[in-house]
Amino acid sequence: MKLLTHNMLSSNIKGVTNGFPLKIEAEKIIERPVEINPVFLKNMFAKLEWKPLVEASRTMGFSELPEDVPDMSVLDSDEFLQKFHHALLEIHLEEGALVCPETGRKFPVQKGIPNMMLHEDEV
Amino acid sequence: MSRPELQAPPEIFYDDTEARKYTSSSRIMEIQAQLSERAIELLALPDDDVPRLLLDIGCGSGLSGETLSEYGHQWIGLDISESMLNIAREREVEGDLILGDMGQGLGLRPGVIDGAISISAVQWLCNADKSSHEPRLRLKAFFGCLYRCLARGARAVLQVYPENIAQRELILSFAMRAGFAGGVVVDYPHSSKSRKEYLVLTCGPPSLSSATPKAKGEDGESCSEDDSSADEENPTVCISDRHRPRKKQKVNKKGKGRNWVLKKKEQMRKKGNVVPPDTKYTARKRKARF
């Protein structure tokens, strides 16, 4: 699972008002190189929640993203784009779990696929 | 031909063997690619070569997602069958996969997805496979979540195989109740085989851009809905054909014909095999006395 997907996912257990961001418990992390696409990154930038992305990439062992929300001008620098791209699309959570911030419910991640199925009493 | 929806719940029907079959059949792969290409066409993304973040609902083994990747888009796939997702992983699809039930909602942040497609999946929501399942609530949860997670003005194109008209009306009414504008596009309405129904939904109030696009293969009098859907066969699931006894399969076939033979010979030539030349005798039947 990419951090891009992590940044979009929220827990939708019944009664949870703010299921975002899910905490990451990483057991196995892999990196898969992908071709960089600056246009996509620029487009995506506005939709991302920056803080959760920085936090998530830290848990995954990549701490080169700036702490504070950078402004749009930074998107012109290749160095930043490279880091941004790496954090967003190249780091994959292979085994581990996602934890709902409100209820502490764990969604297991196996073989890179998060299991977001809810139990009957959570719907 | 029986519908898979009537046989077992999706997470059980698409077990390891069924998932393998589904993805090893070149015919299914071709149909899936065609359906997804048409879905992308109906999605009508702005023509500016910007890769979008799309959602594939009921992505299965990632056949439809592959088409999305070909167009350069990033995608997230959601499916309820673990076996199908495992195959998708084996095939190294580029999108991210999530195991989840669309009837429980999608679990995505609001307004982040640029478009959604779904190939032959939404009709599964009309089934109550567990005692806790209530199709109306599941449809409501699904469309509600879909509406929320789509960006404003984004489209969702859902290719469906409704069992009958009532089922289509049910699905459409819940889409409208969630706030979507749009309608059904029926491609080839007069053919029982290639007839395909797409729900084209736009997030936001009705406007010029949310007008339903034109269907393919319509003739002048196409407005009247012919009710061939009752005996409509469901081409994504025709594998059961394989289990018919061999003899029965051959009954109504006359043989492949000259064109087929010529095509095959040409293929073999391209492979570099030694193939006899094409003559007037090619593909002729032998006389009975031979």
Q: What is the mean pLDDT of chain B?
A: 83
What is the per-residue pLDDT for B36?
Answer: 92
Query: Which chain B residues are within 8 Å of A89, Cβ to Cβ?
Result: 74
Query: Which chain A residues are within 8 Å of B49, Cβ to Cβ?
Result: 39
Q: Which of A29, A18, A7, A13 is nearest to A92 (CA)?
A: A29
What is the per-residue pLDDT for B237?
Answer: 42
Structure confidence by residue, pLDDT tens digits, B271-290: 999 999 999 988 888 877 76
Contact A111 B74 (CB under 8 A): no
| Reported ipTM | 0.91
Contact A47 B111 (CB under 8 A): yes
Q: Which of B67, B75, B69, B76 is nearest to B34 (CA)?
A: B67
In a domain, A67, yes or no: yes
CATH number of the domain to which A108 belongs: 2.20.25.10
Structure confidence by residue, pLDDT tens digits, B73-129: 999 999 999 999 999 999 889 999 999 999 998 889 999 999 999 999 999 998 888
In a domain, A123, yes or no: no
Q: Which of B76, B153, B117 is nearest to A7 (CA)?
A: B76
Q: How many domains does chain A have?
A: 1
Instruction: Please check whether residue A103 touches B, CB under 8 A.
Output: no
Instruction: Report whether the peptide linkage leading into residue A21 is cis, meaning its omega lies within 30 degrees of zero.
Output: yes
In a domain, A109, yes or no: yes
Structure confidence by residue, pLDDT tens digits, A15-59: 888 888 899 999 999 999 988 988 899 888 888 999 999 999 999
Distance (Å, whole) CA B161 – CA B213? 19
Instruction: Please check whether residue A118 touches B, CB under 8 A.
Output: yes
Q: Domain span at residue A15?
A: 3-117
Structure confidence by residue, pLDDT tens digits, B208-241: 666 677 888 765 444 434 333 333 344 444 444 5
What is the per-residue pLDDT for B248?
Answer: 58
In a domain, A122, yes or no: no
Query: Which chain A residues are within 8 Å of B102, Cβ to Cβ?
Result: none
Contact B50 A19 (CB under 8 A): no
Mean pLDDT of B246-265: 74
Q: Are strands B53-57 and A91-99 parallel, antiparallel or unpaired?
A: unpaired
- Of the pLDDT bands very low, low, confident and very high (cuts 50, 70, 90), residue B251 is low
What is the per-residue pLDDT for B246?
Answer: 60
Residue A110: partners with Cβ closer than 8 Å, 6 or more residues away: A95
Q: Which domains, from first to last, does chain B contain?
A: 4-242 (3.40.50.150), 252-290 (no CATH)
Q: What are phi and psi of B123, to 5 degrees?
A: -65, -20
What is the per-residue pLDDT for A68?
Answer: 83
In a domain, A113, yes or no: yes
